[in-house]
A and B are shown apart, each in its own frame.
Chain A
Amino acid sequence: MNEQALIQDAQGGNLDAFNTLILHYQDSVFNTALRILGDEDQAADASQEAFISAFKSISSFRGGSFKGWLMRTVTNACYDELRRQKRRPTTPLEPDTEDGEEMDSPRWLADPNMTPDQKAEADEVEHAIQHCLNNLPLEFKTVVVMADIQGMDYTEVAASIRVPLGTIKSRLARARLRLRECLQGFAELLPASYRLEDGINVS
């Protein structure tokens, strides 16, 4: 696949060329949306929106990493979706603290009062990780999904979400630490080589 030629054709309005690019990147785009939103249907909708938006604004692509550019588009589509959800809130799965704040501590996962459905879902490592990702602040989640799940390098992530490199490093480190803390609640599910030790105190 000659990506550059396809991009140029797509910039000239050639939809078939852009569809070839879509077929190449749709799994990456969908997975990014899925890990950010945590819901397949919403992720599919966001991916479709992202591709439509990408085609309409492809003339603004000025070279560089096309994947990174697409990732920015899908992240924006996910942010839009999350904003929509915020306007029409649904009942959260996570319990509230006494102050009425949504509890993002992983400790509640060890709660013996978990429903059988929740437990069955949490029995799989993938779901455990997705659950921990869902608990991350959006800006941390975006960085960790791009860097650790999509395998993009720091500069690519920085260019994609338009923040300084130092911010990317900081967000990624803190996201990994939070994920580690969250995953401790699923210690028995994790393979032995991935077992984590207790207690990192970061001041």
Chain B
Amino acid sequence: MNQRDLELLSAYLDGQLKPSESAHLESRLNSDPQLASVLTDLRATRNLLRKLPARKAPRNFTLTRKMVGQNPPLPRAYPWFRLASALATLLLFFSFGVNTVGRQMASQAPAFGMGGGGGASEESTELFSAQEAPAAAPAAATEVPAETEAPILEMAPMPTQMSTEAADAARIVDTPVAKNAGETENAVTADQFQSPAPLVPSTWQIALAAIAVGGMLFMVLVRQISARRWK
């Protein structure tokens, strides 16, 4: 028996032959016992397969939302809030970064620095080291009140030459008496000038922070509400 006959018999078994092909095969089956025997075997095999007991699924294969990675539907405005919040955060960090760089640049400039808003405090601190002595010296010698320091300090653009003179003056009057006299005032002024002035955020920085925080809170809230509704 050849492959073609085998396919014909198999298809005949399943009723897949054309009527003419079936009639021709049936006449051959009547005259060829071997062919008929193969057909019987194929039929028995197919019946065995059909009799195989169908097993029940060992468990339900139903899916959960987690299994298919489904997330609760979010409002259409959600992506816009996310974008606004992200932009506000970025701008906020950027503005603080610019201020910090501005302060550093201002502190590096020797005098007349246009260091922007944040540069003032460091400038003052640096100048203080130079002006401390003249401020202390009059305190020891002439009992000039400490308030006189303020106008001096406010003269931010001090020439470099002056700071040298001031240092010399400090060395001259650096006696225990002078030290004792100026101690209290020095302590106060050092406290004032050694720590940099706090960075005060501008209105628009506060607004950016509010947008960033508000946006994040809104997103968390929307997610929770959506998840609750979805369940």
Chain A residue at smallest Cβ distance from B17: A169
Contact residues in A for B49 (Cβ distance below 8 Å): 129, 144, 148-149, 179
Give Cα A146–Cα B201 distance, bound, in whole angstroms.
72
Interface 9-residue window, one of B3-11, B112-120, B121-129: B3-11
Q: Would B48 and A194 count as touching, CB distance under 8 A?
A: yes
Interface 9-residue window, one of A43-51, A60-68, A94-102, A104-112: A43-51
Q: Would A203 and B3 count as touching, CB distance under 8 A?
A: yes
Q: Would A51 and B63 count as touching, CB distance under 8 A?
A: yes
Interface residues of B, count at CB 8 A = 38
Q: Would A126 and B54 count as touching, CB distance under 8 A?
A: no
Contact residues in A for B61 (Cβ distance below 8 Å): 22, 26, 29-30, 44, 47-48, 51
Q: In whole Å, how far is B3's beta carbon from the nearest beta carbon of chain A?
A: 6
Interface 9-residue window, one of B35-43, B98-106, B141-149, B161-169: B35-43
Give Cα A125–Cα B53 distance, bound, in whole angstroms.
10
**Considering the complex, which residues of chain B in the window 21-52 have a beta carbon less than 8 Å from any beta carbon of chain A?**
37-38, 40-42, 44-50, 52
CB of B60 within 8 Å of the partner chain: yes
Q: Would B16 and A169 count as touching, CB distance under 8 A?
A: yes
Q: Would B62 and A196 count as touching, CB distance under 8 A?
A: no
Q: Which of B41, B47, B48, B55 contacts A27 (CB 8 A)?
A: B55
Give Cα A27–Cα B54 distance, bound, in whole angstroms.
8
Contact residues in A for B3 (Cβ distance below 8 Å): 170, 173-174, 202-203
Chain A residue at smallest Cβ distance from B48: A194
CB of A183 within 8 Å of the partner chain: yes
Give Cα A86–Cα B114 distance, bound, in whole angstroms.
72
Interface residues of A, count at CB 8 A = 51
Chain B residue at smallest Cβ distance from A56: B68
Q: Which of A19, A55, A129, A177 contacts B52 (CB 8 A)?
A: A129
Give Cα A23–Cα B38 distance, bound, in whole angstroms.
40
CB of B67 within 8 Å of the partner chain: yes
Chain B residue at smallest Cβ distance from A55: B68
Query: 12 more A-B contacts (CB under 8 A) besides A125-B48, A183-B48?
Result: A22-B60, A22-B62, A29-B57, A30-B57, A129-B48, A149-B52, A176-B10, A176-B46, A183-B45, A194-B48, A197-B40, A203-B2
Question: Hey, which bits of chain B sit against chain A, CB under 8 A?
Answer: 1-3, 6-7, 9-11, 14, 16, 37-38, 40-42, 44-50, 52-63, 65, 67-68, 70
A-B contact pairs, 25 of them (CB 8 A): A15-B63, A15-B70, A22-B61, A22-B62, A22-B63, A29-B61, A30-B56, A30-B58, A44-B59, A48-B61, A52-B63, A126-B52, A126-B53, A129-B52, A149-B50, A173-B3, A176-B46, A177-B6, A195-B44, A196-B44, A197-B41, A200-B41, A202-B1, A202-B6, A203-B2
